Amino acid sequence: MVARINFSANLLNTLNYNENKLKENMAELIHAVNYGKATERLGFSDKLKRIEKQASLNDKCEKSIVHISLNFDPSENLDKETLRAVAESYMQKLGFGNQPYLVYQHFDAGHPHIHIVSTIIKMDGKRIKTHNIGRNQSEKARKEVEQTFGLVKAESRHQQLELYQLGPVSALKVQYGKSVTKRAITTVLDAVLKTYKYTSLAELNAVLKQYNVMADCGSKDSRMYKNKGLVYRVLDEKGNKIGTPIKASAFYMKPGLKFLEEKFAQNESLRQPHKQRIKNAIDLAFAKRPVQSMDELIKVLQKEKIQLVLRQNDKGIIYGLTYIDHEKKCVFNGSDLGKQYSANAMQQRFNKETPAEQQVQEQKQEQTQRILHDKKQTDTLPQQTTLFPASSATEKLKPPFSDGVPNSSNILQELIQPEYINDQMPGELKKQKRKRKRKRLRL
Protein backbone atom coordinates (compact mmCIF):
# COMPACT_ATOMS: atom_id res chain seq x y z
CA MET A 1 0.00 0.00 0.00
CA VAL A 2 1.18 3.51 -0.81
CA ALA A 3 -0.21 6.56 1.02
CA ARG A 4 -0.06 10.10 -0.33
CA ILE A 5 -1.08 13.17 1.70
CA ASN A 6 -1.88 16.65 0.31
CA PHE A 7 -3.02 19.77 2.14
CA SER A 8 -5.28 22.47 0.70
CA ALA A 9 -6.95 25.73 1.70
CA ASN A 10 -10.01 25.13 -0.50
CA LEU A 11 -12.46 22.47 0.68
CA LEU A 12 -14.86 23.07 -2.22
CA ASN A 13 -12.27 22.23 -4.89
CA THR A 14 -11.12 19.13 -3.03
CA LEU A 15 -14.66 17.90 -2.56
CA ASN A 16 -15.63 18.69 -6.16
CA TYR A 17 -12.69 16.65 -7.41
CA ASN A 18 -14.27 13.52 -5.90
CA GLU A 19 -17.91 14.49 -6.45
CA ASN A 20 -17.43 15.15 -10.17
CA LYS A 21 -15.93 11.70 -10.61
CA LEU A 22 -18.86 10.31 -8.69
CA LYS A 23 -21.24 11.94 -11.21
CA GLU A 24 -19.32 10.36 -14.09
CA ASN A 25 -19.51 6.91 -12.43
CA MET A 26 -15.76 6.94 -11.93
CA ALA A 27 -16.01 6.99 -8.12
CA GLU A 28 -18.32 5.98 -5.29
CA LEU A 29 -18.73 7.30 -1.73
CA ILE A 30 -18.30 4.18 0.42
CA HIS A 31 -17.90 5.62 3.92
CA ALA A 32 -18.59 8.75 6.02
CA VAL A 33 -17.15 8.84 9.55
CA ASN A 34 -18.30 11.13 12.39
CA TYR A 35 -21.22 12.47 10.38
CA GLY A 36 -24.74 12.79 11.82
CA LYS A 37 -26.31 10.83 8.95
CA ALA A 38 -25.77 7.49 7.28
CA THR A 39 -23.46 7.52 4.28
CA GLU A 40 -26.15 6.83 1.68
CA ARG A 41 -28.34 9.69 2.99
CA LEU A 42 -25.69 12.40 2.70
CA GLY A 43 -26.21 15.13 0.14
CA PHE A 44 -23.52 17.44 -1.23
CA SER A 45 -24.44 20.18 1.26
CA ASP A 46 -24.16 17.74 4.19
CA LYS A 47 -20.71 16.60 3.09
CA LEU A 48 -19.47 20.14 2.65
CA LYS A 49 -20.89 21.84 5.76
CA ARG A 50 -19.78 19.21 8.29
CA ILE A 51 -16.09 19.57 7.46
CA GLU A 52 -16.38 23.28 6.68
CA LYS A 53 -17.89 24.02 10.12
CA GLN A 54 -15.11 22.26 11.99
CA ALA A 55 -12.37 23.79 9.83
CA SER A 56 -13.74 27.27 10.61
CA LEU A 57 -12.93 26.80 14.31
CA ASN A 58 -9.37 27.93 13.57
CA ASP A 59 -9.04 30.99 11.33
CA LYS A 60 -5.25 31.16 11.61
CA CYS A 61 -4.64 27.87 9.81
CA GLU A 62 -4.40 28.48 6.06
CA LYS A 63 -4.32 24.91 4.71
CA SER A 64 -6.77 23.15 6.98
CA ILE A 65 -8.07 20.56 4.46
CA VAL A 66 -6.33 17.21 4.05
CA HIS A 67 -6.70 14.99 0.95
CA ILE A 68 -5.29 11.48 1.28
CA SER A 69 -5.07 8.65 -1.25
CA LEU A 70 -4.37 5.02 -0.35
CA ASN A 71 -3.14 3.01 -3.36
CA PHE A 72 -3.09 -0.80 -3.47
CA ASP A 73 -1.35 -3.34 -5.65
CA PRO A 74 -3.24 -4.34 -8.86
CA SER A 75 -3.26 -7.95 -7.70
CA GLU A 76 -5.36 -7.03 -4.64
CA ASN A 77 -9.11 -7.33 -5.19
CA LEU A 78 -10.44 -5.59 -2.07
CA ASP A 79 -14.18 -5.36 -1.40
CA LYS A 80 -15.86 -2.25 -0.01
CA GLU A 81 -16.03 -3.57 3.55
CA THR A 82 -12.28 -4.20 3.59
CA LEU A 83 -11.59 -0.76 2.13
CA ARG A 84 -13.72 0.84 4.88
CA ALA A 85 -11.82 -1.07 7.56
CA VAL A 86 -8.46 -0.12 6.02
CA ALA A 87 -9.47 3.56 5.92
CA GLU A 88 -10.65 3.55 9.55
CA SER A 89 -7.49 1.79 10.77
CA TYR A 90 -5.17 4.11 8.87
CA MET A 91 -6.94 7.32 9.96
CA GLN A 92 -7.00 6.16 13.60
CA LYS A 93 -3.25 5.48 13.61
CA LEU A 94 -2.60 8.78 11.81
CA GLY A 95 -4.40 10.72 14.57
CA PHE A 96 -7.60 11.51 12.60
CA GLY A 97 -9.87 8.91 14.22
CA ASN A 98 -12.13 11.55 15.81
CA GLN A 99 -12.20 13.82 12.73
CA PRO A 100 -15.08 13.93 10.22
CA TYR A 101 -13.94 12.37 6.94
CA LEU A 102 -15.32 11.00 3.67
CA VAL A 103 -13.99 7.91 1.87
CA TYR A 104 -14.35 7.65 -1.93
CA GLN A 105 -13.47 4.57 -3.96
CA HIS A 106 -12.10 5.56 -7.40
CA PHE A 107 -12.24 3.51 -10.61
CA ASP A 108 -10.17 5.78 -12.88
CA ALA A 109 -6.83 3.95 -12.78
CA GLY A 110 -5.38 0.50 -13.32
CA HIS A 111 -5.00 -0.17 -9.60
CA PRO A 112 -7.50 -0.07 -6.69
CA HIS A 113 -7.34 3.08 -4.58
CA ILE A 114 -9.41 5.26 -2.28
CA HIS A 115 -9.46 9.02 -1.52
CA ILE A 116 -10.13 10.47 1.93
CA VAL A 117 -11.21 14.07 2.60
CA SER A 118 -10.98 15.57 6.10
CA THR A 119 -9.69 18.53 8.14
CA ILE A 120 -6.74 18.94 10.51
CA ILE A 121 -8.74 21.21 12.87
CA LYS A 122 -10.07 19.43 15.96
CA MET A 123 -13.31 20.12 17.83
CA ASP A 124 -11.49 22.32 20.35
CA GLY A 125 -10.10 24.51 17.57
CA LYS A 126 -6.56 23.18 17.88
CA ARG A 127 -4.82 21.76 14.83
CA ILE A 128 -3.35 18.29 14.43
CA LYS A 129 0.43 18.46 14.09
CA THR A 130 1.32 17.66 10.49
CA HIS A 131 5.07 18.37 10.40
CA ASN A 132 6.69 15.42 8.57
CA ILE A 133 3.42 13.52 8.91
CA GLY A 134 4.03 11.67 5.65
CA ARG A 135 7.51 10.53 6.68
CA ASN A 136 6.75 9.69 10.30
CA GLN A 137 3.14 8.97 11.31
CA SER A 138 1.97 7.88 7.87
CA GLU A 139 4.84 5.46 7.27
CA LYS A 140 4.31 3.83 10.66
CA ALA A 141 0.56 3.59 10.10
CA ARG A 142 1.03 2.18 6.60
CA LYS A 143 3.28 -0.66 7.76
CA GLU A 144 0.90 -1.61 10.58
CA VAL A 145 -2.11 -1.60 8.24
CA GLU A 146 -0.25 -3.75 5.70
CA GLN A 147 0.52 -6.29 8.38
CA THR A 148 -2.99 -6.28 9.88
CA PHE A 149 -4.81 -6.78 6.56
CA GLY A 150 -2.12 -8.84 4.78
CA LEU A 151 -1.60 -6.25 2.04
CA VAL A 152 1.27 -6.17 -0.43
CA LYS A 153 4.12 -4.25 1.18
CA ALA A 154 5.27 -1.10 -0.53
CA GLU A 155 8.97 -2.04 -0.14
CA SER A 156 8.57 -5.28 -2.12
CA ARG A 157 6.87 -3.57 -5.09
CA HIS A 158 8.61 -0.18 -5.02
CA GLN A 159 9.10 0.14 -8.76
CA GLN A 160 5.50 -0.77 -9.57
CA LEU A 161 4.06 1.40 -6.83
CA GLU A 162 5.76 4.45 -8.29
CA LEU A 163 3.01 4.35 -10.90
CA TYR A 164 0.34 4.87 -8.24
CA GLN A 165 1.73 8.10 -6.82
CA LEU A 166 -0.35 11.23 -7.15
CA GLY A 167 1.46 13.36 -9.68
CA PRO A 168 3.02 12.91 -13.11
CA VAL A 169 4.50 9.49 -12.46
CA SER A 170 1.05 8.01 -11.85
CA ALA A 171 -0.08 8.90 -15.38
CA LEU A 172 0.18 5.64 -17.30
CA LYS A 173 0.70 5.88 -21.02
CA VAL A 174 -2.60 5.76 -22.82
CA GLN A 175 -2.82 3.00 -25.41
CA TYR A 176 -5.87 3.24 -27.61
CA GLY A 177 -7.97 0.07 -27.56
CA LYS A 178 -6.40 -1.24 -24.34
CA SER A 179 -8.22 1.02 -21.89
CA VAL A 180 -11.34 3.12 -21.78
CA THR A 181 -10.32 6.24 -23.69
CA LYS A 182 -12.04 8.87 -21.56
CA ARG A 183 -10.95 7.30 -18.29
CA ALA A 184 -7.36 6.99 -19.48
CA ILE A 185 -7.24 10.61 -20.69
CA THR A 186 -8.72 11.78 -17.39
CA THR A 187 -5.93 10.03 -15.48
CA VAL A 188 -3.31 11.85 -17.55
CA LEU A 189 -5.04 15.23 -17.25
CA ASP A 190 -5.33 14.84 -13.47
CA ALA A 191 -1.60 14.26 -13.25
CA VAL A 192 -0.41 16.95 -15.67
CA LEU A 193 -2.79 19.94 -15.64
CA LYS A 194 -2.53 20.65 -11.92
CA THR A 195 1.13 19.89 -11.33
CA TYR A 196 3.16 21.08 -14.34
CA LYS A 197 3.96 24.74 -15.01
CA TYR A 198 3.32 25.44 -18.72
CA THR A 199 2.55 28.77 -20.41
CA SER A 200 1.22 27.74 -23.82
CA LEU A 201 -0.70 24.98 -25.54
CA ALA A 202 2.50 23.81 -27.26
CA GLU A 203 4.29 23.47 -23.92
CA LEU A 204 1.35 21.58 -22.43
CA ASN A 205 1.28 19.21 -25.40
CA ALA A 206 5.01 18.57 -24.98
CA VAL A 207 4.13 16.95 -21.64
CA LEU A 208 0.85 15.31 -22.68
CA LYS A 209 2.46 13.63 -25.68
CA GLN A 210 4.72 11.70 -23.33
CA TYR A 211 1.51 9.86 -22.36
CA ASN A 212 0.08 9.60 -25.90
CA VAL A 213 -2.47 12.38 -25.30
CA MET A 214 -2.87 15.70 -27.09
CA ALA A 215 -4.93 18.87 -26.63
CA ASP A 216 -6.18 19.88 -30.09
CA CYS A 217 -7.81 23.20 -31.02
CA GLY A 218 -7.96 22.34 -34.75
CA SER A 219 -6.43 24.07 -37.74
CA LYS A 220 -6.63 27.87 -38.15
CA ASP A 221 -9.30 27.52 -40.81
CA SER A 222 -11.42 25.08 -38.83
CA ARG A 223 -14.72 25.93 -37.19
CA MET A 224 -13.48 24.66 -33.82
CA TYR A 225 -10.48 27.01 -33.86
CA LYS A 226 -12.61 30.05 -34.72
CA ASN A 227 -15.04 29.22 -31.90
CA LYS A 228 -12.18 28.63 -29.43
CA GLY A 229 -13.07 25.00 -28.95
CA LEU A 230 -10.76 22.30 -27.63
CA VAL A 231 -10.74 18.51 -27.76
CA TYR A 232 -8.43 15.88 -26.32
CA ARG A 233 -7.16 13.05 -28.50
CA VAL A 234 -5.34 9.77 -28.12
CA LEU A 235 -2.12 9.31 -30.09
CA ASP A 236 -0.46 6.12 -31.23
CA GLU A 237 3.24 5.35 -30.67
CA LYS A 238 4.16 7.32 -33.80
CA GLY A 239 2.25 10.41 -32.67
CA ASN A 240 -0.65 9.99 -35.08
CA LYS A 241 -4.18 10.94 -33.97
CA ILE A 242 -6.46 7.95 -33.54
CA GLY A 243 -9.95 7.33 -32.24
CA THR A 244 -12.76 9.76 -31.58
CA PRO A 245 -11.77 13.08 -29.97
CA ILE A 246 -13.41 14.02 -26.66
CA LYS A 247 -14.55 17.58 -25.97
CA ALA A 248 -12.92 19.40 -23.08
CA SER A 249 -16.38 20.15 -21.66
CA ALA A 250 -16.96 16.39 -21.24
CA PHE A 251 -14.32 16.14 -18.50
CA TYR A 252 -15.17 17.05 -14.91
CA MET A 253 -12.40 19.71 -14.74
CA LYS A 254 -13.75 21.43 -17.88
CA PRO A 255 -10.16 21.92 -19.17
CA GLY A 256 -11.06 24.12 -22.13
CA LEU A 257 -9.11 27.10 -23.50
CA LYS A 258 -10.47 29.44 -20.83
CA PHE A 259 -9.27 27.09 -18.10
CA LEU A 260 -5.86 26.69 -19.76
CA GLU A 261 -5.38 30.43 -20.37
CA GLU A 262 -5.80 31.05 -16.64
CA LYS A 263 -3.18 28.38 -16.01
CA PHE A 264 -0.82 29.99 -18.54
CA ALA A 265 -0.95 33.30 -16.68
CA GLN A 266 -0.44 31.68 -13.26
CA ASN A 267 2.42 29.45 -14.37
CA GLU A 268 4.45 32.27 -15.95
CA SER A 269 5.67 33.48 -12.56
CA LEU A 270 5.58 30.07 -10.83
CA ARG A 271 8.11 28.50 -13.18
CA GLN A 272 10.69 31.34 -13.11
CA PRO A 273 12.59 30.12 -10.00
CA HIS A 274 13.33 26.82 -11.78
CA LYS A 275 14.75 28.28 -15.00
CA GLN A 276 18.33 28.39 -13.75
CA ARG A 277 18.37 24.66 -12.91
CA ILE A 278 17.82 23.71 -16.56
CA LYS A 279 20.41 26.22 -17.79
CA ASN A 280 22.97 24.90 -15.32
CA ALA A 281 22.32 21.31 -16.38
CA ILE A 282 22.89 22.19 -20.06
CA ASP A 283 26.05 24.22 -19.40
CA LEU A 284 27.44 21.50 -17.16
CA ALA A 285 26.83 18.90 -19.87
CA PHE A 286 29.11 20.87 -22.24
CA ALA A 287 31.65 21.67 -19.52
CA LYS A 288 32.24 18.07 -18.41
CA ARG A 289 32.91 16.72 -21.90
CA PRO A 290 32.24 17.82 -25.47
CA VAL A 291 28.64 17.01 -26.48
CA GLN A 292 28.59 16.20 -30.19
CA SER A 293 24.90 15.68 -30.99
CA MET A 294 21.31 16.19 -29.86
CA ASP A 295 20.97 12.50 -29.02
CA GLU A 296 23.94 12.72 -26.71
CA LEU A 297 22.57 15.84 -25.02
CA ILE A 298 19.19 14.13 -24.53
CA LYS A 299 20.86 11.24 -22.70
CA VAL A 300 22.92 13.54 -20.48
CA LEU A 301 19.89 15.66 -19.46
CA GLN A 302 17.80 12.56 -18.73
CA LYS A 303 20.12 11.80 -15.83
CA GLU A 304 19.02 15.12 -14.31
CA LYS A 305 15.32 14.27 -14.92
CA ILE A 306 15.15 16.85 -17.70
CA GLN A 307 13.56 15.77 -20.96
CA LEU A 308 14.53 17.47 -24.22
CA VAL A 309 11.75 17.41 -26.83
CA LEU A 310 12.69 18.22 -30.43
CA ARG A 311 10.26 20.16 -32.62
CA GLN A 312 10.81 19.12 -36.23
CA ASN A 313 9.14 19.78 -39.56
CA ASP A 314 8.12 17.17 -42.12
CA LYS A 315 11.67 17.06 -43.50
CA GLY A 316 13.13 16.29 -40.09
CA ILE A 317 14.74 19.72 -39.66
CA ILE A 318 14.82 20.85 -36.02
CA TYR A 319 13.25 24.29 -35.64
CA GLY A 320 12.67 24.38 -31.87
CA LEU A 321 13.49 22.80 -28.51
CA THR A 322 11.32 22.26 -25.43
CA TYR A 323 12.81 21.39 -22.05
CA ILE A 324 10.63 19.48 -19.53
CA ASP A 325 11.92 19.36 -15.97
CA HIS A 326 10.15 16.38 -14.41
CA GLU A 327 11.67 17.07 -11.00
CA LYS A 328 10.50 20.68 -10.70
CA LYS A 329 7.54 20.03 -13.03
CA CYS A 330 8.00 22.98 -15.33
CA VAL A 331 8.28 23.44 -19.11
CA PHE A 332 10.41 25.94 -21.07
CA ASN A 333 10.99 26.58 -24.74
CA GLY A 334 14.66 27.02 -25.62
CA SER A 335 14.21 30.70 -26.45
CA ASP A 336 12.62 31.28 -23.02
CA LEU A 337 15.86 30.21 -21.37
CA GLY A 338 17.93 32.51 -23.59
CA LYS A 339 19.19 32.71 -27.18
CA GLN A 340 22.13 30.43 -26.43
CA TYR A 341 19.68 27.61 -25.57
CA SER A 342 17.59 27.82 -28.75
CA ALA A 343 17.70 25.19 -31.48
CA ASN A 344 20.12 27.06 -33.77
CA ALA A 345 22.47 28.07 -30.96
CA MET A 346 22.59 24.55 -29.54
CA GLN A 347 23.45 23.03 -32.92
CA GLN A 348 26.28 25.54 -33.28
CA ARG A 349 27.60 24.58 -29.85
CA PHE A 350 27.92 20.97 -30.98
CA ASN A 351 30.46 22.03 -33.64
CA LYS A 352 32.54 24.18 -31.34
CA GLU A 353 35.54 22.84 -29.46
CA THR A 354 35.77 23.18 -25.74
CA PRO A 355 38.14 25.87 -24.35
CA ALA A 356 40.58 23.17 -23.20
CA GLU A 357 40.72 21.66 -26.69
CA GLN A 358 41.18 25.08 -28.25
CA GLN A 359 44.10 25.84 -25.91
CA VAL A 360 45.83 22.55 -26.71
CA GLN A 361 45.30 23.12 -30.43
CA GLU A 362 46.72 26.65 -30.22
CA GLN A 363 49.78 25.40 -28.32
CA LYS A 364 50.42 22.76 -30.99
CA GLN A 365 50.13 25.31 -33.78
CA GLU A 366 52.45 27.73 -31.98
CA GLN A 367 55.04 25.01 -31.42
CA THR A 368 54.90 23.93 -35.08
CA GLN A 369 55.38 27.52 -36.27
CA ARG A 370 58.36 27.97 -33.96
CA ILE A 371 60.07 24.83 -35.28
CA LEU A 372 59.51 25.89 -38.90
CA HIS A 373 60.86 29.39 -38.16
CA ASP A 374 64.02 28.02 -36.50
CA LYS A 375 64.61 25.63 -39.39
CA LYS A 376 64.25 28.44 -41.92
CA GLN A 377 66.74 30.62 -40.02
CA THR A 378 69.25 27.75 -39.87
CA ASP A 379 69.00 27.11 -43.61
CA THR A 380 69.72 30.78 -44.47
CA LEU A 381 72.86 31.18 -42.30
CA PRO A 382 76.22 31.57 -44.31
CA GLN A 383 78.68 28.69 -44.12
CA GLN A 384 81.60 29.48 -41.83
CA THR A 385 85.08 27.99 -41.70
CA THR A 386 87.01 28.14 -38.48
CA LEU A 387 90.46 27.16 -37.41
CA PHE A 388 88.94 24.59 -35.11
CA PRO A 389 85.76 23.33 -36.77
CA ALA A 390 83.67 21.16 -34.50
CA SER A 391 83.06 18.59 -37.23
CA SER A 392 86.33 18.87 -39.17
CA ALA A 393 86.85 15.14 -38.96
CA THR A 394 83.63 14.40 -40.73
CA GLU A 395 83.16 17.36 -43.10
CA LYS A 396 84.71 17.15 -46.54
CA LEU A 397 85.89 20.54 -47.79
CA LYS A 398 85.40 21.13 -51.47
CA PRO A 399 88.86 21.82 -53.00
CA PRO A 400 89.41 24.62 -55.51
CA PHE A 401 90.88 21.98 -57.81
CA SER A 402 88.92 19.15 -59.22
CA ASP A 403 90.91 16.23 -60.58
CA GLY A 404 94.05 18.38 -60.47
CA VAL A 405 92.57 21.03 -62.77
CA PRO A 406 92.13 24.54 -61.36
CA ASN A 407 88.51 25.66 -61.04
CA SER A 408 88.28 29.41 -61.59
CA SER A 409 84.91 29.75 -59.90
CA ASN A 410 86.07 27.95 -56.77
CA ILE A 411 89.30 29.99 -56.65
CA LEU A 412 87.37 33.24 -56.95
CA GLN A 413 84.95 32.13 -54.21
CA GLU A 414 87.85 31.31 -51.91
CA LEU A 415 89.50 34.69 -52.55
CA ILE A 416 86.41 36.72 -51.73
CA GLN A 417 85.38 34.56 -48.72
CA PRO A 418 85.75 36.60 -45.47
CA GLU A 419 88.25 35.32 -43.02
CA TYR A 420 87.04 34.22 -39.62
CA ILE A 421 89.47 33.85 -36.80
CA ASN A 422 88.71 31.85 -33.74
CA ASP A 423 89.76 33.99 -30.88
CA GLN A 424 89.03 31.29 -28.37
CA MET A 425 92.12 30.13 -26.47
CA PRO A 426 92.64 26.54 -25.42
CA GLY A 427 92.19 25.92 -21.76
CA GLU A 428 95.80 24.78 -21.28
CA LEU A 429 97.15 28.20 -22.41
CA LYS A 430 94.95 30.25 -20.18
CA LYS A 431 96.72 31.72 -17.21
CA GLN A 432 94.88 31.44 -14.03
CA LYS A 433 94.76 34.66 -12.21
CA ARG A 434 95.18 34.35 -8.52
CA LYS A 435 94.39 36.96 -5.98
CA ARG A 436 97.29 38.12 -3.95
CA LYS A 437 96.91 37.87 -0.27
CA ARG A 438 97.63 41.06 1.49
CA LYS A 439 100.19 40.63 4.18
CA ARG A 440 98.88 41.59 7.50
CA LEU A 441 101.12 43.65 9.74
CA ARG A 442 101.86 41.73 12.86
CA LEU A 443 102.44 43.71 15.99
Q: Where are the domains of the chain?
A: 2-164, 181-268, 272-351
Predicted local confidence at residue 395, as pLDDT: 42
Chain Cα centroid distance, residue 124: 45
Chain Cα centroid distance, residue 163: 19
Q: pLDDT class for 147, splitting at 50, 70, 90?
A: very high
Name the most confidently modeled range: 21-25, 138-142, 345-349, 404-408: 138-142
Predicted local confidence at residue 182, as pLDDT: 79
Rounded to the nearest 10 degrees, how much is the dihedral formed by the CA atoms of 385, 391, 392, 393? -170
Least confident of 20-34, 183-197, 285-299, 385-399: 385-399
Please give the mean pLDDT across all residues of the chain. Answer: 79
Least confident of 14-28, 291-305, 392-406: 392-406
How far, in Å, CA of 100 to CA of 387, rounded? 117
Q: pLDDT class for 101, splitting at 50, 70, 90?
A: very high
Asked whether residue 396 carries a pLDDT value surpassing 90, the answer given is no
Predicted local confidence at residue 392, as pLDDT: 42
Cβ-proximal residues to 206 (8 Å cutoff; 6+ apart), any chain = 198, 309, 322, 324, 331
- Where helices occur in 56-164 by DSSP H, the ranges are 80-94, 137-149, 158-161
263 touches 203 (CB < 8 A): no
Predicted local confidence at residue 49, as pLDDT: 94
Closest by alpha carbon to 96, among 124, 70, 128?
A: 128
Predicted local confidence at residue 270, as pLDDT: 93
What's the predicted TM-score (pTM) here? 0.54
Least confident of 34-38, 61-65, 283-287: 283-287
How far, in Å, CA of 209 to CA of 37, rounded? 45
How far, in Å, CA of 128 to CA of 109, rounded? 31
Mean pLDDT, range 131-156, rounded to an integer: 88
Q: What is the CATH number of domain 2-164?
A: 3.30.930.30
